[in-house]
Structure 1
Amino acid sequence: MPLNAYLNFDGNTREVALFYAEVFGLEEPVIQTFGSMPADPNYPLPPEAQDRVMHTFLNIGGSMLMFSDTFPGMPYQQGTNHFSLALVLDDENAIRDAFHKLKVGGSVMMELQEVPWSKVYGSLTDKYGISWQFSLVSEQA
């Protein structure tokens, strides 16, 4: 059973998901908005919720990364140290490419370098406040 990360944003999920699709060379994701769901007359949808993303996902290296916007009026607090996403691949070029694309507008905590557990490891926080770790799978691991 897979464990999937689910990221919530406050109205800019579409931008985030499209950015990550570009970074990882994926097709644009199918995006379901709150307004695209069948209407329930008992719970009318506020106009400001119509275009917010209810759900979308990307398959990155065999793992599903899911996204949604918060519903208008719901609390939202951007956190940079509550979780990180770890990209662990056996393709050094793919790691380097993603790292360099994600660091634009973000902040690098550790440039890609050799560490005891990986020939290539690094970490950064992207321009959306998401913390990332990158690690090249070694034959010794």
Structure 2
Amino acid sequence: MFSGKAEEAMNFYTSVFEQSEINSVFHHEDGTVLHAVFTLKGQTFMCIDNKNGHEHPFTPAMSLLVACDTVEEIDGVFAKLSQDGQVLMPLQASSFSEKFGWVADKYGVSWQLNLAKN
């Protein structure tokens, strides 16, 4: 649930991840998103714009985990998501993956990116 930026965020996310698309968008009369469905790397997500007048910010307590397929993919996605956002854990090797990083994007959505060890 975004505060008036659902469609902007959805467009951003589908530009960051390959094999992504916007499936449907329904708007309120004022142009904000009533309901939208989009797909990132085969995973379906829904988003809306908050119309109740209260702020409900995203927190790192809930994050989206994305399994990346190549070093180039994880490096590119991490760079794009962290631009104007916040790096919560730098992209680096770990005991469980070739590369792992955690970032909150410019909308406040938290992402954990993983490139599994072969």
- Structure 1 residues not aligned, in runs of 5+: 1-7, 36-49
The aligned residue for residue 110 of structure 1 is 89
Q: Which has the higher strand share?
A: 2
Residue 92 of structure 1: how far off its partner (Å): 2.6
State the identity as a percent: 31
Q: Write the mapping of 1:15-54 to structure 2, written as runs, cut at 5 A.
A: 15-25=8-18, 26-27=20-21, 30-35=24-29, 50-54=30-34
For residue 24 of structure 2, what is the amino acid of its counterpart?
Answer: V
- Structure 2 residues not aligned, in runs of 5+: none
In 2, the alpha carbon distance for the partners of 1:14 and 1:29 equals 12
Cα contact 1:85–1:133 (8 A) shared by 2: yes
- Structure ID, larger Rg: 1
In 1, the alpha carbon distance for the partners of 2:115 and 2:91 equals 10
Residue 74 of structure 1: how far off its partner (Å): 4.6
RMSD of aligned residue pairs (Cα, Å) = 1.8
The aligned residue for residue 35 of structure 2 is 55
Cα contact 2:100–2:114 (8 A) shared by 1: yes
Residue 136 of structure 1: how far off its partner (Å): 1.0
In 2, the alpha carbon distance for the partners of 1:117 and 1:17 equals 30
In 2, the alpha carbon distance for the partners of 1:122 and 1:15 equals 24
For residue 24 of structure 1, what is the amino acid of its counterpart?
Answer: F
